[in-house]
A and B are shown apart, each in its own frame.
Chain A
């Protein structure tokens, strides 16, 4: 796959990077060179994970198609999930074993 200067400008907008004309030109050339190298991955034709990959020590993200959408906590009333506030911020309970005062 190759990308055009227009693609680069659009990606720049998504990444909130202002790119001048020179930068667009250089990035178009650089990204195409990198993507040409990256395209070798597709030659592998991997469509599935190795059977025991999750026991290998490498933590892999779940396949996005398998992700299950849960209830959106932000649609609940904040007092239901974050009853305490301080200076306009939710107070999030410290994880087990963490004493926040040690960070002071």
Chain B
């Protein structure tokens, strides 16, 4: 990936354009053939590549999760409801990418509206894991993670509501960053659960994911939840190292049931951080066990409200019927099974008589989880955990068992509930499958987790 400050010369522009066209042709050939991963739902036409001559991403291909509004390409959210939908405006992150010289390679597959942990819930078929095609790539940003792992692109954007950037990055052996809530504008990100959603970055290396994050971060007047905080150089943080850094190991993230081979890799990664100069100490996050039920109450409650807009009146498809109610119901029949399940759960927990028992309790639990993190970060700089309890699992294994699927996110949802940044970095393989370690930082502490991830990555690179 090129990182540039200077304006390109005419011949360089031609070189970069030729390279970009060849990349797109290559992606189209692979994704259109029998070996397709189904990572992309739409691939850009070379004629649509915008002129570019400067910027840190000049000529670099970027893949976008298909819930990020983009002009010139459809934005479907992996749903029949939005099949062929073209947004009349562009997300702030896409504008920032274009200004930085980036080229949009295409839109990547996802679980419908971001609801899933395997990318099997896409209306357009599952994405396959490039490491082993019989396995899921994780989700919901499985298309973006697979596109980076397969080498189609070096960087991609995803969105992370409960781990949807970090878990697929771990399953595919790449780097994924979910920034602090408010660090990146959500303007143009189609909402799933607005208080939890955050656009995140996926890269082949810590440097690439961090540079992309630096480019898309910053305040946006179009998103009232985006923060007016200065954006430090994440690129520089990659090589800052961990000398003197205090890393907390939350005991609740290392349960007895954790597979011994997974635990062994995590222990080894911890040793590498100590060798690099960090101090490691145990900490406790006592409300962790309640994170999954808390998350699935709040996320579904918000989803039931956000997805009420898909009724055939303004967005996406309309199924004509006699009478307004029948038109609504017919149109909303285009939602897939998991989306319907979550809308139903969200509607139930918000309904009269159950609101405080579920939603109110979950909000108080959320505050307690955030409080746990605040206490922990008064003692340590970052936290080190598994990204997922297991490596990638087989296609179809959990699709009929929603609770088992939800538990895939057990180590990632807490960061979304608290709004803190998290990062997944590869730490080796279990049975040939990539495993990721998660680094969690305090609010606005992305540079700390990037520094720790950079040190870990450098340690593994020294082995090769």
Binding site for B on A (CB under 8 A): 1, 3, 7-8, 11-12, 14-19, 23, 27, 30-31, 33-35, 37-42, 44, 46-50, 52-53, 56-61, 63-64, 95-98, 103
Query: Whole-angstrom distance between the alpha carbons of A46 and B290 in the complex?
Result: 12
Q: Which of B180, B293, B330, B345 contacts A57 (CB 8 A)?
A: B180
Q: Is the CB of A46 within 8 A of B370?
A: no
- Shortest distance between the CB of A6 and any CB in chain B (Å): 13
Q: Is the CB of A15 within 8 A of B361?
A: no
Q: Indicate whether A58 sits within 8 Å of B417 (C-beta atoms), given known contacts A11-B344, A16-B332, A44-B361.
A: yes
Task: Check if B418 is an interface residue, CB within 8 A of chain A.
Answer: yes
Query: Whole-angstrom distance between the alpha carbons of A49 and B362 in the complex?
Result: 11
Q: Is the CB of A31 within 8 A of B344?
A: yes
Which residue of A has the minimal Cβ distance to B71?
Answer: A103
Query: Whole-angstrom distance between the alpha carbons of A98 and B219 in the complex?
Result: 12
Q: Is the CB of B293 within 8 A of A41?
A: yes
Q: Which residues of B contact A38 (CB under 8 A)?
A: 293, 296-297, 349, 358
Q: Is the CB of A16 within 8 A of B328?
A: yes
Q: Which of B311, B402, B417, B419 contacts A34 (CB 8 A)?
A: B402
Q: Is the CB of A18 within 8 A of B330?
A: yes
Q: Is the CB of B420 within 8 A of A57?
A: yes
Which secondary structure dominates chain A's binding surface? loop
Residues 288 to 315 of chain B near chain A (Cβ within 8 Å): 289-290, 292-294, 296-297, 304, 308, 311
Task: Check if B96 is an interface residue, CB within 8 A of chain A.
Answer: no
Number of residues of chain B lying within 8 A (CB) of chain A? 62
Task: Check if B3 is an interface residue, CB within 8 A of chain A.
Answer: no
Which secondary structure dominates chain B's binding surface? helix
Q: Indicate whether A61 sits within 8 Å of B340 (C-beta atoms), given known contacts A14-B351, A56-B373, A98-B222.
A: no
Query: Whole-angstrom distance between the alpha carbons of A97 and B88 in the complex?
Result: 20
Q: Indicate whether A56 sits within 8 Å of B370 (C-beta atoms), given known contacts A11-B344, A17-B344, A95-B224.
A: yes
Query: Whole-angstrom distance between the alpha carbons of A12 and B304 in the complex?
Result: 11
Q: Is the CB of A17 within 8 A of B402?
A: no
Q: Is the CB of A50 within 8 A of B343?
A: no
Q: Is the CB of B418 within 8 A of A37?
A: no
Taking A16-B311, A53-B367, A59-B225 as known contacts, 19 extra A-B pairs with beta carbons closer than 8 A to each other, sorted by chain A number, are: A1-B354, A12-B344, A15-B347, A17-B333, A17-B335, A18-B329, A18-B330, A27-B344, A33-B403, A41-B361, A44-B361, A44-B365, A46-B365, A50-B368, A52-B371, A57-B419, A57-B443, A59-B419, A60-B367
Query: Whole-angstrom distance between the alpha carbons of A61 and B355 in the complex?
Result: 13
Q: Which residues of B contact A27 (CB under 8 A)?
A: 340-341, 344
- Shortest distance between the CB of B43 and any CB in chain A (Å): 25
Which residue of B has the minimal Cβ distance to A8?
Answer: B344
